[in-house]
Amino acid sequence: MTFARYRLYINGTAATNDQLSRFEDINIDQEMDKACYGRFDVPVCVRTKGVWDGETETFLQGMTRIRLEVQIRSAAWTPLIDGPIVNIESAMYSQPGQSKLTLVVSDDSFFLHRDENVTPLQGSDDKVARQIYQQAPQIASMDIDPAPAPSNPVFKSTVIRGTQMECLRRLAKRQHMHAYVACGDSQGKSIGCFKLDPDPKKDFGLAPMILLGQGANIFSFESDQTVGQRAKFKSAQVDLKKRSTENRTADLGDIRLQGEEPGPGPEILRLLKPGQTDALTLARAVQAASERSAYALKAHGEVMKETYTSVLQPYQYVSVLGINGALSGLWLIEQVTHTLTRNSYGQKFRVIRNAESAGTNSPPPQVPAEVH
């Protein structure tokens, strides 16, 4: 059985064998808090009448919708991108076999990042996100987590200055949330998302990534630990009407950790910059800043082709095993680059973590016997 295969949809219809044969290398780049982009290489040549490939074929033109799904063995199909062609890069040479088109495909957040306006919207940040997504016909459904309402009624109106996607990302950042557009279960049914970090207890069904032993399935795991990044934020604000002040300090104990111990190094004390608390509850503002600072561990690597059996995607947790005791455990996927050719499917990843595991002096039940 073929280890991995993919299928392609063009304007909602399965690509024909002739259309599939035109594509060579495909790279899909998925990253947290950014649009998903795909690069589809199409070799071209000049015909006998002097017409280049790509000049007349409708499926190679701008705004054509492309959806790519991948399957490993007999698992369910996983969509990697679904959206329009937003750029066409041409590289033409006099030597035969060198010329190609590169079709750059974006997810449907493209339609929320075009027109700039000044528009007032009412309600908490999650309600504003819902109103924005409802304005885009390409967004078929929404997956939105609740966000605390602002404590000051003056700021219960959010004014969009710029594109809709810029506003969504500003709202998400101040709440330590994520605004992005995900692929739906079928063609052209994108999902508008406004989400908190996932619960570390949630099982995404991904195979563990193992560095050493008979079950090894990743080539490398290069980590970076920033000592002393974990911060406790504090702030205060004055209520002139009530003639009172409010003081808040983040509670690091409320952060949902991906391991048993906090990140490396001692915690530090930070003050919020002016203006960061205006449209939030003060408690949420300091807590969100502390949650962001907690991700002091970062790593990147590459899975083994024909060996690793899951499709990685951002905003999901994956277990990493076979590295040292403090680093083995749950990591949050921040970025994945999928590479598909006629012969192989590869994945490079970047992951982050806000905690360490118990360490080599404690029993590591999560490490399988074949890892050494």
Write the pLDDT tens digit of every residue in 76-101: 999 999 999 999 999 989 888 899 99
pLDDT (0 to 100) of residue 370: 44
Q: How confident is the model at residue 3 (pLDDT cuts 50, 70, 90)?
A: very high
Interval 62-82 mean pLDDT: 97
| CA R_g for the chain | 24
Contact predicate 216/322, CB 8 Å = yes
151 has pLDDT over 80: no
Of 316, 296, 322, nearest in space to 224 by CA: 296
290-322 confidence digits (pLDDT tens): 999 999 999 999 999 999 999 999 999 999 999
168-178 confidence digits (pLDDT tens): 999 999 899 99
233 has pLDDT over 90: yes
Helices (H), the chain: 17-21, 125-134, 164-175, 282-293
47 has pLDDT over 80: no
Long-range contacts of 235-241 (CB under 8 A, 24+ apart): 235/271, 235/272, 235/276, 235/277, 235/282, 235/285, 235/286, 236/282, 237/277, 237/282
Please give the biggest Cα pair distance in the chain: 83
77: its two tokens = 């199909």
Element holding 371 (H helix, E strand): none
14-45 confidence digits (pLDDT tens): 999 999 999 999 999 999 999 999 999 999 88
Interval 246-274 mean pLDDT: 91
Q: How confident is the model at residue 161 (pLDDT cuts 50, 70, 90)?
A: confident
211 has pLDDT over 90: yes
